[in-house]
Amino acid sequence: MPKDHGIGASSKRREDVRFLTGTGNYTDDINVYGQAYVAFVRSDVAHGRIKSVDTAEAAAMPGVLRVFTGSDFEGVGSIPCGWQVTDRHGEPMKEPAHPVLAHGKVRHVGDPIAAVVAETLQEARDAAEAVMADIEELPAVVDMKAAVASSDTLVHDDIGTNLCYDWGFVEDNREAVDKAISEAAHVTTLELVNNRLVANPMEPRVAVGSYEAAGDMSTLYTTSQNPHVIRLLMGAFVLGIPEHKLRVVAPDVGGGFGTKIFHYAEEAFCTFAARALKRPVKWTSTRSEAFMSDAHGRDHVTKIELALDKDHNFTALRTETYANMGAYLSTFAPSVPTWLHGTLMAGNYKTPLIYVNVKAVFTNTVPVDAYRGAGRPEATFQLERVVDKAARELGVDPIELRRKNFITEFPYATPVAVEYDTGDYNATMDKLIEIADLANFETRRKESEGRGKLRGLGINSYIEACGIAPSNLVGQLGARAGLYESATVRVNATGSISVMTGSHSHGQGHETAFPQVVAEMLGIPEDMVEIVHGDTANTPMGMGTYGSRSLAVGGSAMVRATEKIINKAKKIAAHLLEASEADIELKDGAFSVAGTDKSVAWGDVTLAAYVPHNYPLEDIEPGLEETAFYDPSNFTYPSGAYCCEVEVDPDTGKVDVVAFAAADDFGNVVNPMIVEGQVHGGVAQGIGQALLENCAYDETGQLLSASYMDYAMPRADNVPMVTVDHSCQTPCTHNPLGVKGCGEAGAIGSPPAVINAVIDALQSGGHTHVTHIDMPATPNRVWAAMQG
Amino acid sequence: MTEVTMNVNGRKVTRSVRGNELLVEFLREQLRLTGTHVGCDTSQCGACCVHVNGELVKACTMFAAEADGAEVATIEGQANADGSLNVIQQAFQDYHGLQCGFCTPGMVMSAASLLKDNPKPTEEEIRHHLQGNICRCTGYHNIVRAIMAASGQETPAVAAE
Amino acid sequence: MYAFEIERPTSVADAVSALSADEAQPLGGGQTLIPTLKQRLAMPSKLVSLAGIEEMKYVRRDGDVLVIGGGTTHGRIAREAAEHFPGLAALAGKIGDPAVRNRGTIGGSIANNDPSACYPSAAMACGATIVTNSREIAADDYFQGMFTTALEEGEIVTEVRFPIPEKSAYMKFEQIASRFPLVGVFVAKFSDRVGVGVTGASNDGVFRWTEAEEALAGNFSADALSGVTAPPASDMIADLHGTAEYRAHLIPVMTRRGVAAAA
């Protein structure tokens, strides 16, 4: 019998009511009295020297308050990067400046050159067209290998190279890996592309800056996954505003998927301009602007080699990856191809020797940073593709090859520096075989053949790492931030509770799931607990929501704070019950004395805390409010097995995903309904990456996929119903909830399943020469592959 | 500026509009009905879907002046008279048919127009109908189920329920 | 968008008169024009909305001809043409999405002549007549290449007349993002001839694949196409979504499927 409340219940989402009635409060719904509007003048060339920017005509146009250019930001900080990677030789990465408005050069199509602030949006846009930027166009570097080889075309002249870093991991393994590969019975090699994507949350980014001169107080409303991080980065590093004079609010946010983690120039601009003009300043991105200003994702080019012995044990793995940074280092960009990618290259397998080389490259393209999965999809895709290719080369069953090499004993320290605490990869594979009905696949294949279609089956395993931690370790790895999370549990006098969390919900359902945890711990109804988030003014310093960390880290902070509440409430109850604190038990919302029928209700204890008439004032303070900061001791390691079935139209190359199943191990699950929704959405994004989505530049750096006319987003008829299962649960051993995180799994586990299925379909259809197709496997690409 | 009069969610409104003022701008900025969203500029995402004279339209691809004299229905007018969620809205909540909520008003308006013409749509018909409404969060799985449920049909079985 | 005024005439005559103003531009359903205006790619002084002209909204059968008012929406054509000309109704029902079909009009589509528009393939295959406020133009003469038609400044498509074929089908192979046809083929079988109109594929816009028409005229079956060579790739569009060779390959594939599906 499923639970109907508390941990494990599919409680309906309370936030849905406002979203379903059109009464949500997204950033673009916020208008501050007297606000002016910004229109950015953006570069239409990928690379060029700014010779002059003539703003006179624009400044004289109706309604224009001021036209800003890069020179207005001299003395203002650079948009900071939050992670410093150290290269193979012990040198820090190259870290070029990133001005709020371009200065000296433009470095990608969309790079902001000037900004017009006017009374109306129409006036701002009209005047933006009148800004005359004289730009001497320079050759652009777009291809990563060409960029590294180039010494005369540099994205950043001052750093003398387009190579941001050359990272080796684990450098000490390098020779042993080379030797193992040279001596292997079999080596499978694959060169592949992990296609550049645009996250495309449906809500475009918005920033509203305002300034109250009397109190010297700035406020920024922004579409962010982590308002405290924005306050820190923008306040401390760009604009020089101390935290107590800067409030950042991220209200309802319409999806993030990583791309709303980062601190963007437009946020700093609106905050800066509001101070300069003493007027609120609003910017709302158009979708076209989003394509050339939101950080992109993925964009790796990889060569991977897997060595096997004669018994098909994996003996070594070597990868060489070029990772596109784009024109500037976005907030967490350097960490994605390194610590979020190299550390995952063991996957689910006990490969003893691994060496990962990553060359991060500057190009004249939009900056690239974390997008749902961030490094882990790139790792999983290459690994699960090369394992599949190895199985085909060796003529063995791809599931059996995986099982043979699965890690089965935990904890397991990988050769790439992480320690998996728990997992059961055979269990999720067994569950997958069951829920995907693999036993009857051949029957389905024949049925497809009868309709002239090639049916393919793709299987893969995945492991990911969530809740990146602990802070002291990630600090050694180059992080310039802590990776804890915070929670304040404020129990009100009548027993209702407000939980202030540094996590941020932009679709994940925190307002519903978090109360399930607190209410269960206290034995009170969920509707007595309210979640407060998204405003630096009323939440403790927290790091926000990304990397599937909210429940594992933010939830754990909430548990710790609630434990403190319980401890204090027990003291109060002991006083009220005239009993020893050690004898007090909390159950079903009441405190009782063990072994007696004496009890006091939750509400009586909370009231006593705030009306402390009968209260041990000499021993404890009045009030009932506790804060906890939780810093995990390790990552969590969700894992699972995915299966995709496709049908390929042999005449056109069109691929239809006809079935998809996901067997995940997320550890304990708080709200199964929400967890399943996360997997559905992640899988759809993974199918999108595999078959549809392609952010493409031409050789001059022009963005070819600059709108939904050319960037294919999964629509309702592109994806099937997804069969999901999360009954295999090996709880995390080091957080109090035993949870692992579920937000990214779908996007990590699904691309290789889709491509493995496409290859299987083509091979079974006689196209045995097709051993790989790069994503997205568009009809044209699949057809071309079939032609040989 | 042109003066327009329309009936929005049962309320008659008269306002001056610019020639290039889109219906969605009129709704959001002049009437403060901010439930209708703008997610793209190429008429594809469907976050701005409303009903004009009973027909589903994209409010970002129609001028306010063109709606002069029209009946306009937006998400804000969809709940039951007592304020409770209507059958489609309730199904979206029951079946977790929304996550971030940004596409949701358009999805609900689109679903309503489908069910008006086709009270018992198949899964395929629902998916076909939704091709002008992009959701980035849900993978559509639970949106399709919600619409099936709202039409009084069995929802496709899903494992682990 | 740049600033402009908008006018809403209720008759063709008033619309023509309004369009005589400098830099005035007709606005059909706006499903293509409004996104274009948002990108500031057009700068009209005045838009003349044709949406209020009731006399341009109809679908009626006149003997063996289906007559459609230029202001009729795709959605209405999908519903009302189904009984008389299912191939055309199916074409209309696959344009864009339901909301787009409730606004976009056949006149607007025909007047714009986007190389990936659907209707031009049917108009060419059927030998339709494009009727404007001032004249009648045969489809073969009307479509003159990408975004180019025989229309004069200020001329409005008031009606399109489609000879109704015995059998027809439209096969659209969609570009995965926009869902416009990467290649769209309309096959129309009449008692005395077969028409094959191809959209989406060619650098010259919609065209008739006359070799296929001839082969199918004697034998209306997919097999009849086996000896017919595909139109040359050198004429085809190449872009992010498909090479010229791929588009050329798809034309016979879609034509064969159209023949097989024709009803």
Backbone angles phi, psi at C145, to 5 degrees: 110, 175
In whole angstroms, what is the distance from residue A223 CA to residue A208 CA? 10
- Residue pLDDT, tens place only, A133-181: 999 999 999 999 999 998 899 999 999 999 999 999 999 999 999 999 9
In whole angstroms, what is the distance from residue A505 CA to residue A486 CA? 14
Question: Which residues of A555-670 form beta strands (DSSP E)?
Answer: 584-587, 590-593, 599-601, 625-630, 639-648, 655-665
Test A784 with C176 for CB contact under 8 angstroms: no
CA Rg value for chain B: 16
- Residue pLDDT, tens place only, C140-185: 999 999 889 999 999 999 999 999 999 999 999 999 999 999 999 9
- pLDDT at residue A708 in the model: 97
Test C4 with B22 for CB contact under 8 angstroms: no
Position B161 pLDDT exceeds 70: no
Closest residue, chain C, to A655 (C-alpha): C176
Test B62 with C103 for CB contact under 8 angstroms: yes
- Using alpha carbons only, give the angle C171, C172, C173 rounded to the nearest 5 degrees: 120
Which positions in chain C touch B68 (Cβ < 8 Å)? 8
Task: Locate A379 and state its tokens.
Answer: 């790792």
CATH architecture for segment(s) C55-163: 2-Layer Sandwich (3.30)
CA Rg value for chain C: 18
**CA nearest to A174, candidates A60, A311, A42, A320:** A320
Specify burial of residue A152 (Cβ count, 10 A radius: 0-12, 13-18, 19+): exposed
Which positions in chain B touch C4 (Cβ < 8 Å)? 19-20
Closest residue to C246, CB basis, from A129, A692, A780:
A780
Query: Could you tell me the CATH superfamily of domain C167-261?
Result: CO dehydrogenase flavoprotein, C-terminal domain (3.30.390.50)
Q: Does B126 touch chain A (CB under 8 A)?
A: yes
Q: Where are the alpha helices (DSSP H) in A613-689?
A: 672-687
CATH architecture for segment(s) C5-49: 2-Layer Sandwich (3.30)
Test C34 with B66 for CB contact under 8 angstroms: no
| DSSP line for A423-450 | --HHHHHHHHHHHTTGGGHHHHHHHHHH
Together in a domain, A720 and A746: yes
Closest residue to A286, CB basis, from B37, B41, B79:
B41
Task: Locate C99 and state its tokens.
Answer: 């909301």
Test C176 with A705 for CB contact under 8 angstroms: no
Backbone angles phi, psi at A513, to 5 degrees: -75, -40
Residue A730 sits in a domain whose CATH number is 3.30.365.10
- Check: complex ipTM more than 0.90: yes
- pLDDT at residue A1 in the model: 66
Which positions in chain C touch B42 (Cβ < 8 Å)? 35
Interface probe for B, chosen from A17, A19, A205 (most Cβ of B below 10 Å), is: A19
Q: Does C183 touch chain A (CB under 8 A)?
A: no
3-state secondary structure of A317: strand
Burial track C228-243 (b if 16+ CB lie within 10 A, e otherwise): bebbebeebbeebbbb
**CA nearest to A501, candidates A483, A512, A513, A489:** A489
Cβ atoms of residues C157 and C131 within 8 Å? yes
Which positions in chain A touch C182 (Cβ < 8 Å)? 779
Parallel, antiparallel, or unpaired for β C46-49 and C24-27? parallel
For chain B, the structural domain boundaries read 2-75, 87-150
Closest residue, chain B, to A709 (C-alpha): B42
**Comma-separated ranges of CATH 3.30.390.50 domains in chain C:** 167-261
Closest residue to B41, CB basis, from C4, C38, C49:
C38
Residues in chain A with pLDDT values less than 50: none
In whole angstroms, what is the distance from residue A66 CA to residue A764 CA? 65
* Average pLDDT over every residue of C79-102: 97
Position B159 pLDDT exceeds 50: no
Test A21 with B75 for CB contact under 8 angstroms: yes
Together in a domain, A302 and A218: no
Total residues belonging to chain B: 161
* Average pLDDT over every residue of C19-46: 93
Q: Is residue A698 part of a domain?
A: yes
For C152, which DSSP code?
P
**CA nearest to A102, candidates A364, A402, A384:** A364
- pLDDT at residue A142 in the model: 97
Residue A216 sits in a domain whose CATH number is 3.90.1170.50
Total residues belonging to chain C: 263
Together in a domain, A532 and A651: no
Cβ atoms of residues A559 and A517 within 8 Å? yes
In whole angstroms, what is the distance from residue C165 CA to residue A627 CA? 76
Together in a domain, A381 and A403: yes
H or E stretch including A53?
Answer: strand A48-54
Question: Which residues of chain B form beta strands (DSSP E)?
Answer: 2-8, 11-17, 49-52, 55-58, 71-73
Q: Which residues contact C199 (CB under 8 A, 6 or more apart)?
A: C115, C116, C117, C118, C120, C121, C181, C183, C184, C185, C186, C205, C206
H or E stretch including C170?
Answer: strand C167-174
Categorise residue A117: left if φ over 0, alpha if ψ from -120 to 50, beta otherwise: beta
Q: Is residue A155 part of a domain?
A: no
For C179, which DSSP code?
-
In whole angstroms, what is the distance from residue A700 CA to residue A388 CA? 36
- Using alpha carbons only, give the angle A27, A30, A35 rounded to the nearest 5 degrees: 120
Which residues between 48 and 67 in chain B have a beta carbon less than 8 angstroms from any beta carbon of chain A? none
| DSSP line for A186-226 | EEEEEEEEE--EE---SSPPEEEEEEETTTTEEEEEE--S-
In whole angstroms, what is the distance from residue A423 CA to residue A406 CA? 10
Q: Is residue A143 part of a domain?
A: no
Position B160 pLDDT exceeds 70: no
Q: Which residues contact A179 (CB under 8 A, 6 or more apart)?
A: none
Q: Which residue is associated with the tokens 């082969």? A: C215
Together in a domain, A412 and A505: no
Closest residue to A252, CB basis, from B76, B101, B143:
B101
**Comma-separated ranges of CATH 3.30.43.10 domains in chain C:** 5-49
Burial track A752-780 (b if 16+ CB lie within 10 A, e otherwise): bbbbbbbbbbbbbbebeebbbbbbbbbbb
Together in a domain, A285 and A340: no
Interface probe for C, chosen from B41, B55, B124, B126 (most Cβ of C below 10 Å), is: B55
At which of A630, A661, A691 does a domain end?
A630
Together in a domain, A530 and A607: yes
Q: Which residue is associated with the tokens 């009984």? A: C83
Which residues between 8 and 47 in chain C have a beta carbon less than 8 angstroms from any beta carbon of chain A? 38-40
In whole angstroms, what is the distance from residue B155 CA to residue A377 CA? 31
Q: Is residue A431 part of a domain?
A: yes
Q: Is residue A352 part of a domain?
A: yes
Interface probe for A, chosen from C32, C172, C176 (most Cβ of A below 10 Å), is: C176
pLDDT, mean over chain B: 95
Distance from CA of B95 to the nearest CA of C (A): 24
pLDDT, mean over chain C: 96
Parallel, antiparallel, or unpaired for β B55-58 and B49-52? antiparallel
What is the percentage of chain C residues whose pLDDT exceeds 90? 96
Contact partners of C by the rule of 3+ C-beta pairs under 8 A?
A: A, B
Position B22 pLDDT exceeds 80: yes
In whole angstroms, what is the distance from residue A6 CA to residue A678 CA? 19
Cβ atoms of residues B115 and B150 within 8 Å? yes
- pLDDT at residue A788 in the model: 84
Task: Locate C49 and state its tokens.
Answer: 């909305």
Task: Locate A656 and state its tokens.
Answer: 């239809």
- pLDDT at residue B156 in the model: 64
Task: Locate A434 and state its tokens.
Answer: 């069951």
Residues on C contacting B at a C-beta cutoff of 8 Å: 1-6, 8, 27, 30-31, 34-35, 37-39, 46-47, 49, 51-52, 75, 96-100, 102-103, 178-179
Q: Is residue A20 part of a domain?
A: no
How many CB atoms are located within 10 Å of the residue C227 CB? 8
Burial track A209-223 (b if 16+ CB lie within 10 A, e otherwise): bbbeeeeeebbbbbb
Which positions in chain C touch A784 (Cβ < 8 Å)? 243, 246
| DSSP line for A342-389 | GGGTTTTB--S-EEEEEEEEE-SS--B---TTTTHHHHHHHHHHHHHH
Q: Which residue is associated with the tokens 């979206």? A: B92
Together in a domain, A91 and A211: yes
Q: Is residue A171 part of a domain?
A: no
- pLDDT at residue B158 in the model: 42
At which of A593, A612, A630 does a domain end?
A630
CATH, domain B87-150, list 1.10.150.120, 1.10.10.60, 1.20.1250.20, 3.40.50.720: 1.10.150.120
Using CA atoms, how far residue B141 sits from A203, A674, A746, B42, B94, in Å, is 20, 13, 13, 25, 13
Closest residue to C97, CB basis, from B55, B66, B132:
B132
Q: Is residue A772 part of a domain?
A: yes
Query: Domain of A534?
Result: 484-630
Query: Could you tell me the CATH superfamily of domain B2-75?
Result: Beta-grasp domain (3.10.20.30)
**CA nearest to C96, candidates C19, C167, C179, C153:** C179
At which of A580, A615, A630 does a domain end?
A630
* Average pLDDT over every residue of C7-26: 95
Angle between helices A376-394 and A398-405 (to 10 degrees): 120
Closest residue, chain C, to A697 (C-alpha): C240
**Comma-separated ranges of CATH 3.30.465.10 domains in chain C:** 55-163
